[in-house]
Amino acid sequence: MRRDLVDPIRFAPILVMAIVFLLVAMAFFVSIGKPPVRTLLDMVLFAAGDAYSLSETLVKTAPILLCALATIVPARLGLVSVGAEGQLFVGAIFGTAVVLAFPNTPAAILLPSMLLAGMIGGALWGFIPGILRGRLDANETIVTLLLNYVGVLLVNALVFGPWKDPRNLGWPATVSFPLAATLSGFFGTRAHLGLVFGILAAIGFGVLFAISRWGRELAVLKGNAKVGQMIGLSFGRQAMLVMSLGGALGGLAGICEVAAIQGRLQPGISVGYGLTGFLVAWLSGHNPVVAIVVSVLIGGLIAAGDSLQLYAKVPAASAIILQGLLFATALAVGGLAQRWKAARG
């Protein structure tokens, strides 16, 4: 299990994977009546054709990278968390609560406390499945999947209820964030600090996993929990820790989306970034630094999907289909490469 993460066989078939995916994607475009090559080229242009497109790609990269890390950190202990989506929403709630409670605080205090609160909220949403796994041995995959729906509903409950700004004329959203609580974009684009947080976190965790004692402890426990317990490591405690740390990153993704892109808390702050993050985590072999590159690529796919919707009238759902097809292609090619390698000994 651990071996296949670092095995070069995972990286060798990437070319095959890319070619197969392009063919599958073109087949999909044909099936919806779009010119395949033209649409594909359009997507590349929409993702990276000019400075604006590139900046929009980076806008999508930020939450995807943070959500991927929210999956990767627990995965280093062998936990399969699919809870980034819920952590994103709960992080958004906690961060927004700070802004709504102290709207007149100067930015130097408000911004950091808002971000910290977002991380605490996400961490809490990760801690719950973490303690359930660590203490009661409850399957974290099921619990995180179901908690996602609860997180989304909690945001709805707040913005349709007590947090709704009556001046919105029925639109379910909070008041707009004050300037002091806004993450402004770089160089006049919408690309924001969330991307920097994601890259720093990816590098930080990459280094920790590679050289720290803690990274080795996780690897030992993942490889064999019994051996880990015998040398005095606690699986339960580490489960709570990695789930909370991952959750904090998911929560950060949420509050950054609210403070930088939406400008207020409302439903639909995420377009499935949590599940996309899981895909990225898997594609990057649970390597945080590789996840940076993969996040940019998938961010481009989603940004291009947005533009296709705008200019070529291709519904946004096509981006979800393409992600699913990419995931299936990668699983198929990766799995078959593994089998062939095993068969050749």
Partner 1 sequence: MLGSWIAAALRSATPLLVVMVGETLTQRTGVINLGIEGEMLMGACCGFAAAVITGNPLLGLLAGAAAGAALSTVHAGLVLGARANQISCGLAVWMIGLGLTSYFGRTYVGGQVSPILPIGAYLPNAPAFVRGALDQITATAPFAIVLAIAAGVWLYRTRTGLNWRTVGESAEVARALGIRPTWVRFQSIVLGGLLAGLGGAILSVDYTQTWAQDITKGKGLVAVGLVIVARWNPYLAIPVALLFGLSETSVLKLQAGGMAISPSLLATLPYLFAIGVVVFAQAQGRRNAAMPADLTAIFRTR
- Our finding on whether 153 is near partner 1 (CB under 8 A) is yes
* Residue 262 DSSP symbol: I
**Beta carbon nearer to partner 1, 192 or 222:** 222
- Our finding on whether 301 is near partner 1 (CB under 8 A) is no
**Beta carbon nearer to partner 1, 35 or 315:** 315
Nearest CA to 77 out of 209, 196, 178 is that of 209
* Minimum distance of partner 1 from residue 261's CB (angstroms): 22
Question: Residue 315: helix, strand or coil by DSSP?
Answer: coil
- Our finding on whether 160 is near partner 1 (CB under 8 A) is yes
**Beta carbon nearer to partner 1, 108 or 342:** 342
> Between 208 and 237, how does the x/- string for binding to partner 1 read (CB under 8 A)?
-------------xx-xx---------x--
Which of 32, 196, 203, 310: binder of partner 1 (CB under 8 A)?
32
Please give the Cα distance from 178 to 197 (Å, whole number): 22
Binding to partner 1 in span 168-187, by CB under 8 A: none
Q: How many CB atoms lie within 10 A of CB 158?
A: 20
* Minimum distance of partner 1 from residue 253's CB (angstroms): 18
* Minimum distance of partner 1 from residue 222's CB (angstroms): 7
Please give the Cα distance from 256 to 215 (Å, whole number): 28
* Minimum distance of partner 1 from residue 278's CB (angstroms): 6
* Minimum distance of partner 1 from residue 203's CB (angstroms): 25
How does 194-229 read in b/e, with b if 16+ C-beta sit within 10 Å?
A: bbebbbebbeebbebbeeeeebebbebbbeebeebe
- Our finding on whether 269 is near partner 1 (CB under 8 A) is no
Question: Distance from CA of residue 315 to its chain's centroid?
Answer: 22
Give the count of residues interacting with partner 1 (CB under 8 A).
Answer: 55
Which of 5, 48, 100, 154: binder of partner 1 (CB under 8 A)?
154
Q: How many CB atoms lie within 10 A of CB 104?
A: 7
Contact in structure between 266 and 173 (CB atoms under 8 Å): yes
- Our finding on whether 324 is near partner 1 (CB under 8 A) is yes
Question: Distance from CA of residue 244 to its chain's centroid?
Answer: 15
Residue ranges with strand state E in the chain: none
- Our finding on whether 192 is near partner 1 (CB under 8 A) is no
* Minimum distance of partner 1 from residue 198's CB (angstroms): 22
> Between 37 and 66, how does the x/- string for binding to partner 1 read (CB under 8 A)?
------------------------------
- Our finding on whether 13 is near partner 1 (CB under 8 A) is no
Which of 88, 243, 278, 292: binder of partner 1 (CB under 8 A)?
278
Please give the Cα distance from 288 to 66 (Å, whole number): 10
String of DSSP letters for 212-260:
SHHHHHHHHHHH-HHHHHHTT--HHHHHHHHHHHHHHHHHHHHHHIIII
Q: Which stretch in 78-86, 94-102, 178-186, 288-296 sits in contact with partner 1 by CB under 8 A?
A: 78-86
- Our finding on whether 308 is near partner 1 (CB under 8 A) is no
Please give the Cα distance from 308 to 315 (Å, whole number): 8
**Beta carbon nearer to partner 1, 153 or 200:** 153
**Neighbouring residues of 192: CB distance < 8 A, sequence distance ≥ 6:** 59, 62, 183, 184, 185, 186, 256, 260, 261
Please give the Cα distance from 58 to 41 (Å, whole number): 19
Footprint on this chain of partner 1 (rule: CB under 8 A): 32, 77-80, 82, 132, 136-139, 141-143, 145-150, 153-154, 156-157, 160-161, 221-222, 224-225, 235, 275, 278-279, 282, 315, 317-325, 327-328, 331-336, 338-339
